[in-house]
Amino acid sequence: MVPMRIGVMLRAFDESGGIAVYARNLVEELLKIDGHNTYVLYYRNARHTGRSRTCPNVEEHVVDAPNKAIWDQIAIPYRCWRDRLDVILHPKFTVPLLAPCKAVMVVHGADWFMPDQAVFYGKWDVRYAKLAMPLYFKKSATVISVSQLTSDNFYNVLKLPDGKIKTVYFGPAGHFERVTDPNRLHQIRTKYGLPEKFILTLTKRGGGERKNLGQLLESYKRYHRDTEAPHRLVIGGKDCHLFREEYGIPEDGYGRDVLFPGWIDQSDLPTVYSLADLFFYPSNLEAFPIPLTEAMACGTPIVTSDANGLREIAGDAARFVDPQSDDDMAEALKSVLSDKNYSDTLAARGLARADRFRWDRCAKETLTVLENLKPA
């Protein structure tokens, strides 16, 4: 089989969100499993070069451009021609329309096209997506989607031909697994000041509305009021302590049991999940909620929203709630935390379900998509 020259657009490496994590893990796993094809990696920042210096089938290039649009639509098409690529892959929503080779993009949601989800975006972002996305789909030989929900939404909205989109799940980083070492558990509990019994949630500043933090806090308040010995609530994330003032969380009452440990290092997260008695994630909007896959891999029982991609990913491994019902969420917290058999069942189901969300599987399925585009 003649090897392909596969270009990968990696401007997402300069970001810190979920798509950056996706891009890094996908490239790492592709290089682990594929020593046959040549990978031409394009960065916007020189600090990323050298990551793959031990791989003989990798070329790394820094591509300069004054902004993302010019990088995507002028600089990269030129490099596709110059470097004689067979296919260009972008892990983030766009493709170079003028590329002289086949193109594949990854879509992480169709939120801009869904009236109940578009409200979480600026009006210009929504207008741009509605204008540009059909062009990107037309240029793409194949589109990879991170969830079946995302695939179905794009098929319905853009009236795409069958087979245009391939759903490929990904998963948490490889170090997410149940931690049982008592020394490690004690070390991390001490490092972050974690209590003996707690509910864990993760969010970020600026994402409170999307993550449904107001409803989450109100439901915890009700759970706390109606429970004799309530678990404490740990909200992890950078600068999340500012939520106390922004959401009017009191210093006494239920507010005394709301804790903000700050940013939790990725290397420590599996232990934090393992220490938690429940992962509470009643988000309003998710296409592929990677924290659910992390919690499942660590055997942490889950309470999450019966909305968007959350049910698709959690399957039978979670208690589902109406994210707009404080009473429903409070009752779910109480039922899971007061019933050890139920909690253990959810944990066991999560560990079993986690096997379908793995990076090696994601890389193999992605490689199949790319190699199916091999020139005749």
Query: pLDDT-derived band of residue 299, with 50, 70 and 90 as boundaries?
Result: very high
Residue given tokens 């804790």 in the structure block: 259
Answer yes or no: is pLDDT of 18 > 80.
no
Contact between 135 and 318 under an 8 Å Cβ cutoff? The reply is no
Task: List, for residues 129-183, the tens digit of each pLDDT value.
Answer: 899 999 999 999 999 999 999 999 999 999 999 999 999 999 888 899 999 999 9
Alpha-carbon separation of residue 18 from 13, 21, 62 (angstroms)? 11, 5, 22
Average pLDDT over residues 193-199: 97
pLDDT of residue 199: 98
Task: List, for residues 87-133, the tens digit of each pLDDT value.
Answer: 999 999 999 999 999 999 999 988 888 776 666 678 888 898 899 99
The answer to whether residue 376 is domain-embedded is no
Residue 137 sits in the same domain as residue 192: no
| Distance of alpha carbon 337 from alpha carbon 328, whole angstroms | 14
Query: pLDDT-derived band of residue 334, with 50, 70 and 90 as boundaries?
Result: very high
Helix segments in 2-108, DSSP class H: 18-33, 68-70, 76-82
Query: pLDDT-derived band of residue 63, with 50, 70 and 90 as boundaries?
Result: very high
Query: pLDDT-derived band of residue 262, with 50, 70 and 90 as boundaries?
Result: very high
Residue 19 sits in the same domain as residue 104: yes
Strands 5-9 and 278-281: unpaired
Q: Give pTM, 2 decimals.
A: 0.83
Answer yes or no: is pLDDT of 364 > 70.
yes
The answer to whether residue 16 is domain-embedded is yes
Average pLDDT over residues 215-224: 95
Residue 200 sits in the same domain as residue 299: yes
Higher pLDDT, 297 or 286: 297
Tokens of 206: 């600026």
Higher pLDDT, 368 or 18: 368
Residue 202 sits in the same domain as residue 331: yes
| Orientation of helix 340-353 relative to helix 326-338, angle to 10° | 100
Answer yes or no: is pLDDT of 376 > 70.
no
Residue 45 sits in the same domain as residue 61: yes
Residue 344 sits in the same domain as residue 290: yes
The answer to whether residue 202 is domain-embedded is yes
The answer to whether residue 270 is domain-embedded is yes
The CATH number linked to 323 is 3.40.50.2000
Higher pLDDT, 72 or 19: 72
Query: pLDDT-derived band of residue 207, with 50, 70 and 90 as boundaries?
Result: low
Q: Which domain holds residue 89?
A: 5-170+358-371
Residues contacting 61, CB < 8 A, separation 6+? 40, 41, 42, 43, 79, 83
87-114 in b/e form (b: 16+ CB < 10 A) is bbbbbbbbbbeebebbbbbbbbbbbbbb
Residue given tokens 């590329």 in the structure block: 99
pLDDT of residue 52: 79
Contact between 276 and 268 under an 8 Å Cβ cutoff? The reply is no
Q: How many CB atoms lie within 10 A of CB 216?
A: 24
Answer yes or no: is pLDDT of 249 > 80.
yes
Residues contacting 155, CB < 8 A, separation 6+? 164, 165
Residue 147 sits in the same domain as residue 286: no
Coil vs helix vs strand at 94: coil
| Distance of alpha carbon 46 from alpha carbon 362, whole angstroms | 27
The answer to whether residue 140 is domain-embedded is yes
Answer yes or no: is pLDDT of 359 > 80.
yes
Residue 67 sits in the same domain as residue 140: yes
Where is average pLDDT lowest: 11-15, 19-23, 52-56, 370-374? 52-56
Residue 364 sits in the same domain as residue 345: no
Query: What's the distance, Cα to Cα, between the start and end of the chain in Å?
Result: 11
Task: List, for residues 23-43, the tens digit of each pLDDT value.
Answer: 999 999 999 999 999 999 999
Give the residue from 287, 316, 311, 312 showing the smallest Cα distance to 301: 316
The answer to whether residue 29 is domain-embedded is yes
pLDDT of residue 182: 97
Higher pLDDT, 238 or 73: 73
Task: List, for residues 274-293, the tens digit of each pLDDT value.
Answer: 999 999 999 887 778 889 99
Residue 244 sits in the same domain as residue 202: yes
pLDDT of residue 313: 92
The answer to whether residue 120 is domain-embedded is yes
Residue 280 sits in the same domain as residue 157: no
Helix segments in the chain, DSSP class H: 18-33, 68-70, 76-82, 115-118, 123-139, 148-158, 182-192, 213-226, 243-246, 269-275, 290-297, 310-314, 326-338, 340-353, 359-371
Query: pLDDT-derived band of residue 208, with 50, 70 and 90 as boundaries?
Result: low
Strands 258-262 and 232-236: parallel
Answer yes or no: is pLDDT of 206 > 70.
no
Average pLDDT over residues 1-6: 90
The answer to whether residue 74 is domain-embedded is yes
Residue 270 sits in the same domain as residue 287: yes
Domain count for the chain, please give it.
Answer: 2
Q: How far is CA 317 from the centre of its chain?
A: 18
